[in-house]
Structure 1
Amino acid sequence: MNFGRIEYLYVLVTVPLIAIIFYVQYILKEKFLKENGLKDVFKTYALDRRFFKKFFFLVSLTFLILSLASPRFGVALEKGERRGRDIFFLIDVSNSMNATDIKPSRLDATKQVIFNLLKKMNGDRVGVAVFAGSCQIICPLTDDYDAVSMFVDSIDTDMISKQGTNLGEAIEKVVKEGFPENDKGFRTIIVFSDGEDFGDSVESGVKVAKENNVIIFSVGIGSKEGAPIPVKDINGKVIGFKKDKDGKVVITKMNPETLVKIAKETDGEAFIVRSNLDIDPLIKNINKLQKKKFAEKGFVKLKDRYYYPLAVSVLFLIAFLVL
């Protein structure tokens, strides 16, 4: 189960706050009645009635908020033809992506670019993989862009303990394990990286991509001037900057050369993101790619079940009103 409008779940914090207000009111009223000798005047059933009335109100409010969050579970078959592409976001999570020459950081800028991309996609299946010294597929191909956004939002540079930037191995892993087998064409990898220190493995990854007709777009994140690499403590607080063996602060610079090369060799395009997060040129090039037909008879998606918590909310609201 997931929620179509997850931001409404934050409103649930108002429920315990209102409950605390009700409780404080009760304590103050009890104190007033006791100090003025009026406590025995009020019947017990009246107290019970007030308690349940407020309880019904809080339950009704809780389920109303859950309904607004649009819970989705179960599956529904959507009839009709759908066309799109299979696209994998391959995201560099090496420590250099914490550099802040692109605000607020290279990695955070990458996330914003991806969020903007997802808003303009329609019908494509999207997967997510991260890489540094090794590669991990964290989200398989799906047309649920909300789920993709949640996975992307959770990415940080601690996800892969093995540091380095083994792009070649990452491309090979996505081609062989991320995309469906025997599905030539219609497949694209979008690499997000600062292009720094790819090592000697890139050629092998590009070769596998070309053999499987996978087009690679590359998005360079960073500046040529560069920036130091922050060193953080376990709480995420910056406590210094990475230094070399001579004690000098390391400056990481965006290197577009390899990113341009892998895009060119696979019939893709390379793009540079510095201060401008405009992704229209990238979208324009993606839209030129051929689309394939998905599920001629229909495709399955999570069903919106907002009406279940709404029904519960209405029932408790009625109980609140008639009590």
Structure 2
Amino acid sequence: MIKEANTYNRLMRLLLLSEGIWWTLVLIGYALLPLDRFGVKLLHPEMLGLWVVIPLLATGSWMQWSWKARIYQEYSGYGSTRMLWVKFEPMKAFLHYFLLRSTYFFVVLAMAQPVAGSKKVNGSKRILDLVICLDISNSMNTKDMGGTEVSRLTAAKQAIGELLNQLKGERIAVVVFANDAYTQLPLTMDYGAAKLFVPDIETSMISDQGTNIGRALEVAQEQFKDTESGKAILVITDGEDHEALWKKQLEELKKKHVELAYLGLGSTKGGLIPNNPYDISDGYKRENGQAVVSKIDKNGLTKMATESGSILVTSDSPFPNIYDIATNYKNTKNKQVMKVEFNVDKNYFYVPTILALLCMICYFFLPIIINPNKA
């Protein structure tokens, strides 16, 4: 029995020696091998922190073997006891531990995803450039959205914010217009920047008042410089277009395959146009001594949408339903599929995965590999 106890002690020394050699080789390889020269790196190096379980596994095995050593020493000379019904096989015990911890070691290394070099991959992506044309004529200050609480311009800003929340991957630009138009925000995928710009838009930005949708469409087309992108324009207005110049732009839009949509805001009952949207005491706009009542021009909007084959959504809600328009932009046939070629890292995660699998197979077939009768 003393011989068995000494066997346990030698086994524990073998455990410490093997772990010391293993981790020394790992550290030497990491410190001395020119991994950077070959472009070797780990995509998820933080996963290596899971190796902390290995010392815990070694400590557990050491405690188990130490306990068995004490039992063997305590019961040495007492003959056969119920504590000794299992014949101890030191080599099999060590190999069980070594193969199990090696399997775990390589699994963690595979999870860290070692990569080296790169390769070219052909792919595609669907892209769409969307220009939002926002009417900021004085009539957009009319508060007839959901009663008399919210102006059309405020509802328009809220609609744009909701649209930005629903879009994904489209490039957007914002053009503001009245009788003239200019680009407020060039094409960008930075929706956060757009959400900062839009709330600051006011009707006072353009002194040349009126509603010239044709001019807005003309300025919007200046954003379409990428011939490989799908193109779309959303016009948000109350529809009171007094210029009727939009017809001249329809042919250009058709030639460039630009998809057009309209969001009409305002009520059929209408409301008064304030002279100063920030101070109602300044009164309302008047013509020939009569207060001017501004209503949504549904007939005009319907005509524009019909002639251009466009989607038209009208609303008198403070929070216009933008879902149909957003869904259309996500699924539009105008969203182009562009062929792209890009480099990706060559991932060698399968190498440690194969090593882990081999260790696991050896672990399960160990009783066959080692004859317990010779232990």
Fold shared per TM-score above 0.5: yes
Q: Hey, what does 1:158 align to over in structure 2? A: 204
SS in 1 for 2:205: coil
Q: Conserved in 2, the CA contact under 8 Å of 1:113 and 1:277?
A: yes
- Among 266, 272, 277, which residue is 2:314 paired with? 272
Deviations 1:275-307 (A, max 9, x none): 252222222222230322569357xxxxxxxxx
Shift in Å at residue 82 of structure 1? 4.4
Question: What is the match of residue 285 of structure 2?
Answer: 243
CA gap of 1:213–1:158, structure 2 versus 1, over 3 A, is same
Q: Percent identity?
A: 34
Give the structure-2-normalised TM-score. 0.54
Structure 1 residues not aligned, in runs of 5+ = 1-78, 299-323
Deviation at 1:257, TM superposition (A): 2.2
Q: Distance in 2 between matches of 1:293 and 1:146?
A: 25
Unaligned runs of 5+ in 2: 1-120, 343-375
- 2:332 aligned partner, one-letter code: L
- Does structure 2 retain, via aligned residues, the 8 Å contact 1:82–1:123? no
CA contact (8 A) 2:175 2:219 kept: no
- Tell me the SS of whatever aligns to 2:291: coil
Alpha-carbon displacement from aligned partner over 1:210-238 (angstroms, at most 9, x marks no partner): 222111100000001000001118xx322
Between structure 1 and structure 2, the one with the greater Rg is 2
Distance in 2 (CA, whole Å) between partners of 1:278 and 1:128 is: 19
Map 1:90-129; keep pairs closer than 5 Å.
90-102=133-145, 103-129=149-175
Which residue of structure 1 aligns with residue 232 of structure 2?
188
Structure 2: distance between partners of 1:265 and 1:186: 21
Q: In 2 relative to 1, CA 178–227 (structure 1 residues): closer, same or farther, beyond 3 Å?
A: same
Distance in 2, matches of 1:149 and 1:297, equals: 32
Q: Equivalent residue for 2:258?
A: 214
1:264: how far off? 2.9
Q: Which amino acid aligns with 1:288?
A: N
Question: What one-letter code is carried by the residue in structure 2 that aligns with 1:292?
Answer: Q
Aligned position for 1:140: 186
C-alpha separation between the residues in 1 aligned to 2:252 and 2:298? 21
What TM-score, normalized by structure 1, do the two folds share? 0.62
User: Counterpart of 2:152 in structure 1: which amino acid?
Assistant: R
**Cα distance, 1:198 vs structure 2:** 3.3
Q: Separation in 2 of the partners of 1:212 and 1:189?
A: 12
* 1: CA distance, partners of 2:192 / 2:140: 24
CA distance in 1, matches of 2:200, 2:263: 20
Check conservation: 2:129, 2:232, Cα contact below 8 A. yes
CA contact (8 A) 1:194 1:221 kept: yes
Change (3 A) 1:296 1:154: farther
1: CA distance between counterparts of 2:215 and 2:130?
18
- Shift of the 157–82 alpha-carbon distance from structure 1 to 2, 3 Å rule, reads same
Pick the structure with more helix per residue: 2
